[in-house]
Amino acid sequence: MAVHNVTLIRGDGTGPELVEATRRVLEAAVATSGSSFNWDVVEAGVDIMETAGTPLPDNVLESIRKNKVALKGPITTPIGTGFRSVNVALRKELDLFACIRPCKSYKGVRSRYENIDIVIVRENTEDLYAGVEYDQFSDEAKQIIGLSGGKIREDAAISIKPISTFGTRRIVKAAFDYAVENNRKKVTAVCKANIMKYTDGLFYKVAREVAEEYKDKGIEYDEWLVDAMCMQLVQKPENYDVLVMPNLYGDILSDLGAGLVGGLGVAPGANIGEDTALFEATHGSAPKYKGQNKVNPTALILSGLLMLKYLKETDAAAKLEKAVADVIAEGKDVTYDMKPDRNDPTAVGTSQMADAIIAKINAA
């Protein structure tokens, strides 16, 4: 029995209604084990910008640093404001270096594939997403062009791709730790080291060193080039388990993985640091559906499932996943996007799908 202090970021667009549905489901799940939540509700996103002057007020970061765990609704990235992304800012400010993206099939979700169960572990802080860029004709770009020995055209903009031993070691270690804790069998490192021999080559080098440290845990290790891995996931996804990779490849392959299991509507996400974790759906805020009680809450609820596992609420997590799977498989109390015909008048709303999941939990 425990009381979990968790920061609850409502988000914007459809975020608040998704968060409310998820909050109720999670409370029902942990109640079965005698636990509860103490939510610290905070606001972030475009809706708060007018009064706060920023989509990410200081109190949001302060709350997460205090509670160490956060659940976040979708947030719109403001356009033309100079603020790049609340999501990226949270990861950088809190050093949430590991993005965990499970891609799992659920019966009743439309997909060309069945029985998919892979996990993509993406490094969150380095690579081309580090934000080190120089505009064309800038002094910095000219200097780098000068060092390239004629390999870069004079009118090029430049983006730097940093890959470090430190960053690689901790993300690969996170992948192996996840495999051990979740009874997975294999970790696959994904890069393009045949072309980027120093950066991606370093990633492979460090990954091999980490793999040696886990040999006694019975975790198999292998490597694939990123282009070949894309083909492998389309042709033989059942051959793969936990995939670990740098930032850019992880961004791309995690969406590919979501496509294998039915799309972003059923794709949860976790961003993990040394002592802090933030859980969020991977889809956007869908502002055109704001306030309509229409959007699918599954991705955020499954992100909450990952949070329960992180909080060691193992029994509650198992009951929640079974309830979600049963509701989806029955196909009755689901949102319009999960019906065979998206115009099906029997589709239910966000809140009603949450009600159906809660009913399954309570009946277990």
Report the catalytic residues. Answer: 129, 192, 227, 251
Type of residue numbered 316: A
- Specify whether the CB–CB gap between 250 and 97 falls below 8 A: no
User: If residue 70 lies in a helix (H) or strand (E), which one and from where to where?
Assistant: strand 69-72
Virtual CA dihedral for 305, 311, 315, 316, nearest 10 degrees? -50
The structure tokens listed for 166 are 């430190």
Residues 6+ apart with CB under 8 A from 185: 179, 218, 219, 220, 241
Residues 6+ apart with CB under 8 A from 224: 188, 189, 190, 232
Q: How many CB atoms lie within 10 A of CB 257?
A: 23
Q: How many CB atoms lie within 10 A of CB 363?
A: 8
In terms of Cα–Cα distance, which of 280, 305, 285 is closest to 357?
305
- Between CA 314 and CA 309 the distance in angstroms is 6
In terms of Cα–Cα distance, which of 53, 42, 47, 52 is closest to 81?
53
- Between CA 150 and CA 289 the distance in angstroms is 51
Could you tell me the sign of the dihedral formed by the alpha carbons of 199, 101, 183, 167, in that order?
A: positive
